[in-house]
Chain A
């Protein structure tokens, strides 16, 4: 998993909770990286899972909620750092459409080792989208947060219905998105 996810996570924890909490979850998670993350490197996603679990323990907030919130935050940060991907399209659906065939292609150019999840989209009607998330890593929550963050960026309000399942090593989630009002 790309380093930016980790460093953004820690920054968010420091900001929302405290540097103290961030330090604790790093120290207590006994991370191979020792919590020294840089966006130009890739790290084991289990480190993120370990840190989120620790945070959940400490804050009594369920893991999915934490991850979703983080996703929303991450979407905002992406929009700041990589505005070209956002400004080229005008709606959440268009943006989601462009992930698989545009954004991930660009990511692969810069980081040939990046392992990106797959997002297959389908539009049954003008106000609805079906999207299948699939990844070896269990981050459907993060995906949901990112979708929400994106819709906030475009000033749209989405209702999300989600259904998860697993097949072998692969994690799947079907999102049914509808634009509200």
Chain B
């Protein structure tokens, strides 16, 4: 028993010994494994740190590379900006001289050569401007203006300036702005125009037959905010899908061969896209190869009130009208505009069809078609012949014939002679149609009070066709004016003086600010200058300093308020502000466009004299005046005399003027009762005038 206990004990001791040995071996293994794990972990940590360090170094390297690239890009942009600026300066001279030559007597061949030189210079200028714009965009220096502008006028002008190019390629340019109300927007009109110009020029450039359609809509987003949506659709060569994607990237035309065939820098769309984006808008393109392309822009604008002078829509008496128009899209667009005026409009697509319809409609009870609109694109019959044929339809003696043309036509005078009542230049706008209907169907009072509307530059009436009235008006206004031209560049002096001389403006020259101050001061004693054209960059004393001194009276008190127009080669906005801040009145950039130069000068010369000229009163304003006067009369307010005096500063319709003078004389006799009664009659009549309208 003891033995067995003993051996049992020994057995257990051996087992324990084995277990202990096994445990120690296991512990050793575990320790080794832990050490291995620890080392591996340390290595991992170090590896991660190394990686992080590497990432840091790489990132820093990339940042440096990016900075270097940006700096290089910046340098490239400012080089481009400088270069294009430097190129523009001599180009000024070239263009200026070419414009002058245009007015000289030239042989046919010389004229042809000159027009080539002019168009080359102009496209060179366009390219340089593109590059300048682009480098400004790249350098982040492009700033947008925020000024009030009339959308409809902008669209009209932009479209009109492309009609010639379209016409040269026998393309129809169709403009549908019937959905655009006469509102003012706030934004950068010249950049918006740049985008539209770019898209329209492209459409014309890449379309060889068919039509270009410009459709614009203004969609109200909320009070004071709306979105302009413009589509420019062409029937041109189109753009392949894969090319559409890169279309708006820099230096990308749809095809490298495009550059060879069509020219251009390929910057236009990139700039347009950038401009749209800067205005918080967007631009999109879609296209079917061989069918044409559609470019669409959507840009939000703040609204800035309505153009009151254009709000009145003239409602003529019931009129039956006939539109002769061969292009279907144009037919639709035109019809839409006239239908706003509740015209009973019949559409035909050829001259012969028109004659046929008019002849057959004679049997109908109410055959009196009183308005016939003839588009210049009808080709089946010569226009004078058509007018004559229409005139021969006996019962149609009273109708009015209107010619819708793309371009200023030298046959207008002849057409007016043949019996044309009016001609209008496309694009058609609601305002233009309104003006046309007023001119043709309104009473003379309404016409007088609608002078603003009637003075539409695209509306031509027989008496206006006799002479180039705008040219005459300017020559009349500018004749004999004295302008001091301050410029250190001899060529610029010649260009400006020659251009002004053509309008009978007398010029004197000064080479720098000092000379200018002297000349102005001296002139105060003899014959005064009316205006100063002041170059900004000059040695000795620059334009800014000179303007400041003039405003401070350095050239004498009588010269302190003389209109000063800045002339500069630098088109940046800061310069414009700088000019205005030192007291200059207006601002023009080189190269000087003769039209811009003349119209700016005439604006400031005329503005100065405006108090001496009476202008016609606007119908709205007249109504406001009359309402005020009536309430003042009712309340025996003595201010009524001041109001009447104020009203008389305008040119008034004869009936209104007579009535007002009668009221005035009654007031002088303190006969308030009769004055009020007389005034009420006057007002009822004048409102009658409006109701007739």
CA distance A20 to B10 in the complex (A): 11
CA A162 to CA B429, docked complex, whole Å: 102
Q: Are A36 and B11 in contact, with the CB atoms below 8 A?
A: no
Query: Per-residue 0/1 for B498-542: is the Cβ within 8 Å of any A Cβ (1 yes, 0 no)?
Result: 000000000000000000000000000000000000000000000
List the A residue with the shortest CB-CB distance to B14.
A23
Contact of B26 among A19, A20, A40 (CB under 8 A): A40
A17-58 at interface with B (beta carbon < 8 Å): 19-20, 23, 26-27, 34-41
- Choose from A26, A27, A35, A41 the contact partner of B29 (Cβ within 8 Å): A41
B22 is an interface residue with CB less than 8 A from chain A: yes
Is the Cβ of B25 less than 8 Å from the Cβ of A41? yes
Any A CB within 8 A of the CB of B15: yes
Q: A19-B11, A20-B11 are in contact. Are A41 and B18 (CB under 8 A)?
A: no
The yes or no answer to B64 lying at the interface (CB within 8 A) is: no
CA distance A41 to B28 in the complex (A): 10
Which chain B residue lies CB-closest to A14?
B15
Complex CA distance for A27 and B7, rounded to whole angstroms: 14
Docked complex Cα distance between A40 and B25 (Å): 9
Asked if A38 contacts B25 (CB within 8 A), the reply is yes
A39 proximity list for chain B (CB < 8 A): 26
The interface centre, meaning the residue of A19, A20, A26, A38 with most chain B CB atoms within 10 A of its CB, is: A38
Query: Which of chain A's residues has its CB closest to B21's CB?
Result: A36
Pairwise interchain contact B14-A38, C-beta atoms closer than 8 A? no
Complex Cα distance A27/B11, Å?
11
Q: Which of B15, B22, B23, B25 contacts A23 (CB 8 A)?
A: B15
Taken together as a complex, chains A and B put the C-alpha atoms of A23 and B26 apart, in Å, by 21
Task: State A27–B22 Cα separation when bound (angstroms).
Answer: 16
Determine if B30 is an interface residue (Cβ-Cβ < 8 Å). yes
**Are B15 and A34 in contact, CB atoms less than 8 angstroms apart?**
no
- CA–CA, A36 to B11, complex, Å? 14
Nearest CB of B to A144, in Å: 29
CA distance A82 to B534 in the complex (A): 97
A98 to chain B, nearest CB (A): 27
Q: Write the chain B residue with the least CB distance to A24.
A: B11
A7 partner residues in chain B, CB cutoff 8 A: 22
Report chain A residues within 8 Å CB of B29: 38, 40-41
In the complex, chain A residues whose CB is within 8 Å of the CB of B20: 36
What separation, in Å, do the CA atoms of A20 and B8 have in the docked complex? Answer: 8
Q: Is the interface of A mostly helix, strand, loop or mixed?
A: loop
Of A19, A37, A40, the residue contacting B15 (CB under 8 A) is: A19
CA distance A35 to B29 in the complex (A): 17
Q: In the complex, how many angstroms separate the beta carbon of A130 from the nearest chain B beta carbon?
A: 38
Determine the chain B residues whose CB is within 8 A of the CB of A38 once the complex forms: 22-23, 25-26, 29
A residues in contact with B25, CB < 8 Å: 36, 38, 40-41
Q: Is the CB of A26 within 8 A of B18?
A: yes
Inter-chain contact A27/B14, CB cutoff 8 Å: yes
Residues from 14 to 54 in B contacting A, C-beta threshold 8 Å: 14-15, 17-23, 25-26, 29-30
Residues A36 and B18 in contact, CB atoms below 8 Å apart: yes
A110 → chain B, closest Cβ, in Å? Answer: 10
How far, in whole Å, are A40 and B19 apart by their CA atoms in the complex? 14
Question: Contact mask A129-170 → B, CB, 8 Å, 1/0?
Answer: 000000000000000000000000000000000000000000
Query: Which residue of B20, B21, B22, B30 has the most chain A CB atoms within 10 A of its CB atom?
Result: B22
Which chain A positions have C-beta within 8 A of B30? Answer: 40
A33–B25 Cα distance when bound, in Å, is 11
Interface size counted on chain B using CB atoms at 8 A: 14
A18 nearest in chain B by CB position: B11
The residue that B18 contacts in the complex, of A20, A35, A40, with Cβ under 8 A, is A35
Return B18 CB to nearest CB of chain A, in Å.
Answer: 4
Q: Residues of A contacting B22 with CB < 8 Å? A: 7, 36-38
Select which of B15, B19, B26 is within 8 A of A41 by beta carbon: B26
Q: How far is the CA of A35 from the CA of B14 in the complex (A)?
A: 10
A39: nearest residue on chain B (CB-CB)?
A: B26
CA of A38 to CA of B23, assembled, Å: 7
Instruction: Give Cα distance in the complex from A19 to B14, angstroms.
Output: 11
Residues of B within 8 A of A40 (CB): 25-26, 29-30
Measured CA separation A36–B18 after assembly (Å): 4
On chain A, the residues within 8 Å of B14 by CB distance are 23, 27
Distance A19 CA – B430 CA, assembled complex (angstroms): 115
Q: Which residue of A lies closest to B19 (CB)?
A: A36
Nearest chain B residue, comparing its CB with the CB of A37: B22
Kindly provide the distance from the CB of B176 to the nearest chain A CB, expressed in whole angstroms. Answer: 72
A36-B28 Cα distance, complex, nearest whole Å: 14
Residues in chain A near residue B18, CB distance under 8 A = 26, 34-37
The distance in angstroms between the C-alpha atoms of A63 and B23, with both chains bound, is 30
| B residues less than 8 Å from A23 (CB atoms) | 11, 14-15
- Look across to chain A and name the residue whose beta carbon is closest to the beta carbon of B18: A36
Smallest CB–CB gap between B27 and chain A, Å? Answer: 9
Complex CA gap A26/B15 in Å reads 10
A27 vs B15: C-alpha distance in the bound complex, in angstroms?
Answer: 11
Query: What is the distance, in angstroms, from A38's C-beta to the closest C-beta of chain B?
Result: 4
Closest-CB distance, A27 to chain B (whole angstroms): 7
B15 to chain A, nearest CB (A): 7
Q: How far is the CA of A34 from the CA of B19 in the complex (A)?
A: 11
What's the Cα separation between A59 and B408 when bound, in Å?
A: 128
CB distance from A51 to the nearest CB of B (A): 13
CB-defined contacts of B19 to chain A, threshold 8 Å? 36
Given contacts A40-B30, A41-B26, A34 and B21 within 8 Å (CB-CB): yes
Instruction: Find the A residue at minimum CB distance from B33.
Output: A40
Query: Which chain A positions have C-beta within 8 A of B11?
Result: 19-20, 23
What is the CA–CA distance of A26 and B29 in the complex, to the nearest angstrom? Answer: 23
Q: B26: shortest Cβ distance to chain A, in Å? A: 4
Task: State A38–B28 Cα separation when bound (angstroms).
Answer: 11
Question: For residue A34, which residues in chain B have a CB less than 8 angstroms away from its CB?
Answer: 18, 21
Q: Nearest-CB distance from B28 to chain A (Å)?
A: 9
Task: State how many angstroms separate the Cβ of B17 from the closest Cβ of chain A.
Answer: 8
Q: Report how far A23 CA is from B30 CA in the complex, Å.
A: 27
Minimum distance in angstroms from B14 CB to a CB of chain A? 6
Could you tell me the distance between the alpha carbons of A34 and B25 in the complex, rounded to whole angstroms? 12
Instruction: Give B106-137 as 1s and 0s: 1 = Cβ < 8 Å from A's Cβ atoms.
Output: 00000000000000000000000000000000
Q: Name A20's closest neighbour in chain B (CB-CB).
A: B11
- A39 to B15: give the CA distance in the assembly, Å: 16
CB distance from A52 to the nearest CB of B (A): 18
Q: Give CA–CA (A37, B15) in the complex, Å.
A: 11
> Which residues of the other chain, A, contact B26 by a CB distance below 8 angstroms?
38-41
- The residue on B at minimum CB distance from A23 is B11
Residue on A nearest B25 in the bound complex, by CB: A38
Most buried by B among A7, A19, A36: A36
List 19 A-B residue pairs with CB atoms under 8 Å apart, sorted by A's residue number. Answer: A23-B11, A26-B18, A34-B18, A35-B18, A36-B17, A36-B19, A36-B21, A36-B22, A36-B25, A37-B18, A37-B22, A38-B22, A38-B23, A38-B26, A38-B29, A40-B26, A40-B29, A40-B30, A41-B29
7 smallest beta-carbon distances between A and B, as pairs: A36-B21, A38-B26, A36-B22, A38-B22, A36-B18, A40-B29, A40-B26
Which of B's residues lie within 8 Å of A, judged by CB?
11, 14-15, 17-23, 25-26, 29-30
Task: Please give 15 more A-B residue pairs, beta carbons under 8 A apart, in addition to A20-B11, A36-B18, A36-B25.
Answer: A7-B22, A23-B11, A34-B21, A35-B18, A36-B17, A36-B19, A36-B21, A36-B22, A37-B18, A38-B22, A38-B29, A39-B26, A40-B25, A40-B30, A41-B25
